[in-house]
């Protein structure tokens, strides 16, 4: 279980995240949806310890994350796929995945990674920069997964990806959940995508959660109205 209570983040004097609370179970996918500038990236960076934050609670399976640096949070079970993918274009696919192992106890790429991403196995000797956008996104996810996280955070994984490939990303996230039984938290603006992957949808607006639905009872018109400018 991943638990966050009263999370607050500021840039200097300007508070951007205003007391967020959530709990996410093992084997649950939670979507945080909101327009540009509503605080999704700030939320994720603070969860990873890339940005300083305050909270009354931040735990993974009861283990406290407060004050932990990013690499410590990775050791404690968090993994992060940043917006924009940030793979290394001049390194091969295999080398890109291996960079994820630097903060891990193991030196070996786990077997299930290439089972999840057969295309990465086929392309393991190619340069990351020669992959398509969708393949680069898969590579960024694979690199995050090699640390065997308990919680996988993905910031807008469909951004800049063709609609036909977005379906593949949804399939991959569903397979990851089945194979690894982890918590997935994904930020998104595309409702059709979150409807395929998320058990719960939370809307963020100016750093506050303003709406929550389970997928089965989603009020699509309402969520869409929050996402439109
Ligand atoms: N380095 C920074 N310094 C000051 N303010 C910032 C900084 N980065 C982001 N902000 C502000 O914080 C707010 C939230 O931005 P954030 O990038 O977290 O939103 P987002 O929901 O992830 O949007 P996007 O999808 O555009 O990345 C915005 O008002 C933004 O202008």
State mean pLDDT over 1-15.
Answer: 97
pLDDT of residue 161: 87
Cβ(16) – ligand 1 distance below 6 Å: yes
pLDDT in tens, 158-199: 998 888 889 989 999 999 998 888 999 999 999 999 999 999
Asked casually if ipTM beats, i.e. exceeds, 0.90, the reply is yes
160 lines ligand 1 (CB under 6 A): no
Cα–Cα–Cα angle for 217, 161, 154, rounded to 5 degrees: 60
Number of helices (H) and strands (E), helices first, in the chain? 9, 10
pLDDT tens for each residue of 212-226: 999 999 999 999 999
Give the other-Cβ count within 10 Å of 26's Cβ.
Answer: 14
The mean pLDDT of the chain is 93
Question: What's the domain count of the chain?
Answer: 1
pLDDT for the residue 33: 97
Q: What is the pLDDT of residues 135-150, one digit of tens each?
A: 999 999 999 999 899 9
| pLDDT of 106 higher than 80 | no
What was the pLDDT predicted at 100? 87
Q: Is the pLDDT of residue 105 over 70?
A: no
pLDDT (mean) for 193-210: 96
Atom of ligand 1 nearest to the CA of 43: 18
Distance from the CA of 73 to the center of ligand 1, in angstroms? Answer: 22
Give yes or no for residue 64 having a pLDDT over 90: yes
- CA separation (Å) from 218 to 99, 198, 215? 39, 11, 5
**Which pLDDT score, from 0 to 100, does residue 85 have?**
73
Q: Does residue 102 register a pLDDT over 80?
A: no
What's the rounded Cα separation, in Å, for the pair 106 and 159? 31
Contact between 227 and 211 (Cβ < 8 Å): no
Question: So what's the pLDDT on residue 103?
Answer: 64
Q: How far apart are CA 176 and CA 119, in angstroms?
A: 15
Atom of ligand 1 nearest to the CA of 156: 25
3 state DSSP class of 105: coil
How far CA 147 is from CA of 69, 90, 218, in Å, comes to: 16, 22, 33
State which residues form the domain around 99.
Answer: 2-227
What are 157-166's pLDDT values in tens digits?
Answer: 999 888 888 9
CB 33 within 8 A of CB 226: yes
Return the CATH number at 221: 3.40.50.300
- DSSP-derived pairing of the beta strands 151-155 and 78-81: parallel
pLDDT reported for residue 13: 94
| Binding site membership of 39 for ligand 1 (Cβ less than 6 Å) | yes
């Amino acid at each position: 279980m991943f638990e966050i209570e009263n999370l607050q983040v500021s840039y200097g004097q300007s508070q951007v995240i205003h007391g967020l609370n959530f709990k996410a179970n093992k084997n649950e996918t939670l979507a945080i949806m909101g327009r540009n500038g509503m605080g999704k990236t700030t939320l994720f960076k603070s969860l990873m310890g890339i940005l300083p934050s305050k909270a009354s609670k931040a735990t993974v399976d009861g283990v406290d994350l407060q004050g932990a640096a990013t690499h410590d949070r990775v050791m404690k079970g968090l993994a992060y796929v940043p917006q924009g993918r940030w793979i290394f274009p001049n390194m091969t696919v295999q080398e890109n995945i291996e960079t994820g192992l630097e903060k891990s106890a193991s030196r070996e790429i786990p077997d299930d990674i290439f089972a999840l991403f057969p295309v990465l196995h086929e392309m393991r000797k190619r340069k990351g920069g020669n992959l398509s956008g969708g393949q680069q996104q898969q590579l960024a996810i694979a690199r995050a997964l090699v640390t065997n996280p308990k919680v996988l955070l993905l910031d807008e994984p469909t951004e800049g990806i063709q609609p036909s490939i977005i379906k593949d990303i949804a399939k991959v996230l569903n397979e990851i959940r089945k194979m690894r039984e982890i918590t997935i938290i994904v930020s998104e603006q595309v409702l059709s995508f979150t409807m395929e992957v998320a058990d719960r949808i939370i809307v963020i607006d100016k750093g506050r959660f303003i709406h929550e639905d389970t997928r089965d009872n989603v009020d699509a018109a309402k969520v869409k109205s929050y996402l439109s400018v």
